[in-house]
Amino acid sequence: MIQRLRSIIRKEFIQIRRDPRTLGLIIIIPVMQLFLLGYAATNDIRNVAMAVYDLDKSEESRSLVQAYSNAEYFQVIEYVSSEEELQTLIEYGDARVGLLIPPDYSHDLNAGQTAQIGFVIDGSDPSIAKTALSSAQLIGQAYGASIQEERLVRNGMGGINFQPVEVRTQVWYNPTLEDAYFMVPGIVGMVLFTLTSMVTANSIVRERERGTIEQLIVTPIRPWEMVLGKMVPYVILAFINTGEVLLIGSLWFGVPIRGSLLLVFGLSGVFLMTSLGIGLLASTIASTQQEAMMIVYMIFLPSVFLSGFFFPIQAMPKVLQWISYGIPLRYYMSIIRALLLKGVGLPAIQTDVTLLALFGLGLLIIASVRFRKRLD
């Protein structure tokens, strides 16, 4: 039994070694995903192009524009002299937001009245628009408050904290709300899922395409030996990938690893059972490598979207939330995020871990049963 298993594992390793291009992809893809998603898939806004239509042209209006551009969120790219010009800039996408300062801005401000300013946002990308909107309001309020304070000081009422309510907010675990913190643990899950499920499905379907599976079936190899023997090399590769993503994630993106690494790898192993199971199941259905890819991809897409990788599950319609319970990646996402960012121990995530383990066992059992030693 050990001999048979060893033979299969050795053969798989030789085959992996003989295909340096695939091996290279396996090593490089996670790094690529990490950098792409770590930087590109972000809701942070920075340097949003802003056009300014200043009708007041006073010292006060210039200091307001300064307040906006100081905050790094916005970058003034152009001063326009008509509303049409502003519109064109936004239509062509040269500017995303427009700041409108009415002619009586400084007059109202100095008269102690509420001065109004206009803020136009290109809403075609809602996520940028929302963040830009809230930043614009925050900056405006802060600026208004500072003017008010200044005025009160001038009137001899400085130092009095006149704000009736003060809301102190505190953000835990990811105080600067860095998207990378959220993304990197998710990428670990995605990489493990794609690598193991696609590669296992392919490596088995390839045996079928070449006709070697028929030869393997007439040997004394047992189905589980075959499954295990094929899995071991890819599990090792997947763990190397995990280490790789975690290393770059923490060194480059500064993602904290607060929980125990042993738990991270151990529970990643549990998750691997589910993605290997999916890969195996796909291989029992598919007869060509393309088909296997399509099947895995069919599972992969909803997994990514419903696992909470990009979008919070709580915000989804009820039906999708129910469906998400059937997606193993969902449990792993919340486990790995909790482990890395919150540094929790096993008790805090035991429900997710239990469900994930059940999924893994179930999938592997179904796959092994379907993986019979027959051709029909």
- Interface contacts to other proteins, rule CB under 8 A: 3-4, 6-8, 10-11, 14-15, 18-19, 210-212, 214-221, 373-376
Report the residue number, 107 or 222, with the smaller CB distance to other proteins: 222
Shortest Cβ distance from residue 132 to other proteins (Å)?
54
Shortest Cβ distance from residue 374 to other proteins (Å)?
6
Nearest Cα neighbor of 230 from 196, 265, 270 is: 196
Report the residue number, 57 or 372, with the smaller CB distance to other proteins: 372
Shortest Cβ distance from residue 207 to other proteins (Å)?
9
Rounded to 5°, the CA angle 214-215-221 comes to 100
Nearest Cα neighbor of 109 from 130, 85, 138, 140 is: 140
Shortest Cβ distance from residue 210 to other proteins (Å)?
7
User: Within 13 Å and on the Cβ side, how many CA atoms surround 160?
Assistant: 11
Report the residue number, 181 or 234, with the smaller CB distance to other proteins: 234
Tokens 């008010």 correspond to 148
Report the residue number, 203 or 324, with the smaller CB distance to other proteins: 203
Shortest Cβ distance from residue 233 to other proteins (Å)?
14
Structure tokens at 181: 């913190």
Tell me how far apart the 2 most distant CA atoms of the chain are, in Å: 96
126 vs 136: CA distance, rounded Å: 15
Report the residue number, 8 or 282, with the smaller CB distance to other proteins: 8
Residue 61 to residues 67, 84, 104, 284: CA-CA distances in angstroms?
Answer: 10, 21, 10, 69
